[in-house]
Amino acid sequence: MIKKTVFALAVLTASVSFAQTGWNWPEDPNLKSQAMEKQAYYKLLIAQSKYAEAMQPLNWLYTNNPDLNSSIYIQGVDCLEDIIKNTSDKDRKEQLQDSLLWMYDQRIKYFDNKAATMDRKAYEAFKLHYKTPAKYPMLAELYAEAYDMNGPEISTFNLNTYMLLAKNFHKTAPDKMPAEKVLDIHTLISDIIESKRKNGENPSKLDKEQSKTDAWLGSIPGILTCEFIEEKLVPKFKADPTDLKTAKKIFKYSVQAKCTKESYFLEASEPVFKEQPSFALANAIGSKYLASGEIAKGLQYYEEAQGLASTSDETYDALMGQAVANSKLGNKSRSRTLAYEALSAKPGSSEAYNLIGNLYFTSYDDCRGDKSRVMDRGVFLAAHKMYSKAGNQEQMQASKEQFPSIEEIFNEGMEEGQSITVGCWINESVSLQRR
């Protein structure tokens, strides 16, 4: 066995001088020979899963040839991970953990690709210490540095882990990791996920990371509440309405905390829309303004939404929003036109037909001429026709109760079933029916 090992070592050592490039061997021939032997020996030991023994030649290289090649640190990490896993002594384990992180420091010191190495170091440190509160300040510094160095290039495995760290750190030391900082970290992660999405990274994988990140935030008591938003974020935004970063936080967290009925939600939404216009946001703002009674502003955003719509469903929603807004403003003819346009985008919509029916039903006082009771009540016949298309049985009955009586029809020399045209702005042909 010894002879085989010596022979294998000799073969590996010999192959080093012929097969490897990009290695910084010592200039001194004697030292170079030793370094080659140590390098070949640790590879042989790793191949035999003798990780603890492999650390001896590796440690020699760290001392005598530290800039040999980044692989001596990469493989050193592999060795230490196995040793740590099989070590029960607490003090010894802590020493080994420090040594493992030191490997990354050496790679950063001697080799390029420092951002990627810091990315890995933060994750390794997290795996080692995420259950150790005393290490949270160190982990927070590592993650902040890794994110600063990598930006959108940060690895996916360092996304929701940073959020979990922020959660745990805040729980154990809220003075050192305040709620505002937790939100900053969540925003940073979310922005990077969005950047990765735009760069074409796997959307389903990113969705999972965002969901986990949101879940960690949502599990922290006292942060995702309307009270927190109003007390901590709103004053900052009101002091500087141009602070887009804070506006985005108010908008995002108001949605998550279900605070969208609050006035500050709309105030924050507008600058967010201006900077990042989208159909969904325009549609949401339009809806909120309509609900709050600011109809003209609601109409404005639904018009914006129509210009940003990319599907027939979105076009329909934008047109119906405009139709409802015009109805509330008393622009009945314009409202009907928009409702019919919405029907072109979504044929058979009961919502659109109901709206037209309501426009007709409420037009009796607007359109009656007080010359013919039958013709004046034609608006209810027109409304019934629209409610019938919508399948609205209740309103069909309500409109039918307002039809002219058989006596009124007879007295005016008309016949049930004949076609009449409802005048005014409606201009709709209907079949005469009695109540």
124-178: per-residue pLDDT in tens?
999 999 999 999 999 999 999 999 999 999 999 999 999 999 999 999 999 999 9
Instruction: Identify whether 69 is part of a domain.
Output: yes
Give me the residues of the chain with pLDDT under 50, please: 1-19
User: How far is the C-alpha of 289 from the C-alpha of 299, rounded, in Å?
Assistant: 8
Contact assessment for residue 285 and residue 302, using Cβ atoms and an 8 Å cutoff = no
What is the DSSP track for 68-126?
Answer: S-THHHHHHHHHHHHHHHT---HHHHHHHHHHHHHHHHHHHHHSS-HHHHHHHHHHHHH
Instruction: Identify whether 230 is part of a domain.
Output: no
Instruction: Identify whether 142 is part of a domain.
Output: no
Count of beta carbons in the 10 Å neighbourhood of residue 298: 24
* Residue-level pLDDT at 324: 97
- Alpha-helical (H) ranges within 259-331 are 263-275, 279-292, 295-308, 312-328
Count of beta carbons in the 10 Å neighbourhood of residue 5: 13
Count of beta carbons in the 10 Å neighbourhood of residue 82: 16
Contact assessment for residue 382 and residue 353, using Cβ atoms and an 8 Å cutoff = no
What is the value of pTM for the model shown?
Answer: 0.69
Instruction: Identify whether 86 is part of a domain.
Output: yes
Say how many residues make up the chain.
435
Q: What are the residues whose beta carbons fall under 8 Å from the beta carbon of 162, sequence distance 6 or more?
A: 143, 147, 185, 189
Count of beta carbons in the 10 Å neighbourhood of residue 358: 21
* Residue-level pLDDT at 21: 66
Domain count, the chain: 2
Instruction: Identify whether 124 is part of a domain.
Output: no
Domain that holds residue 19: 1-111
Residue from 233, 193, 184, 235 nearest 212 by CA: 193
Instruction: Identify whether 191 is part of a domain.
Output: no
DSSP 132: -
- Domain boundary among the residues 68, 89, 111 is at 111
How open is the CA angle 44-48-51, to the nearest 5 degrees?
Answer: 85
**What is the CB-side half-sphere exposure of residue 382 using CA atoms within 13 A?**
27
Instruction: Identify whether 312 is part of a domain.
Output: no
- Domain boundary among the residues 66, 87, 111 is at 111
User: How far is the C-alpha of 73 from the C-alpha of 67, rounded, in Å?
Assistant: 10
Which residues lie across from 422 on neighbouring strands? 428
Buried b (16+ CB within 10 A) or exposed e, 395-406: bbebbbeebbee
- Domain boundary among the residues 83, 111, 139 is at 111
How open is the CA angle 27-28-31, to the nearest 5 degrees?
Answer: 115
* Residue-level pLDDT at 412: 85
User: How far is the C-alpha of 322 from the C-alpha of 340, rounded, in Å?
Assistant: 12
Instruction: Identify whether 72 is part of a domain.
Output: yes
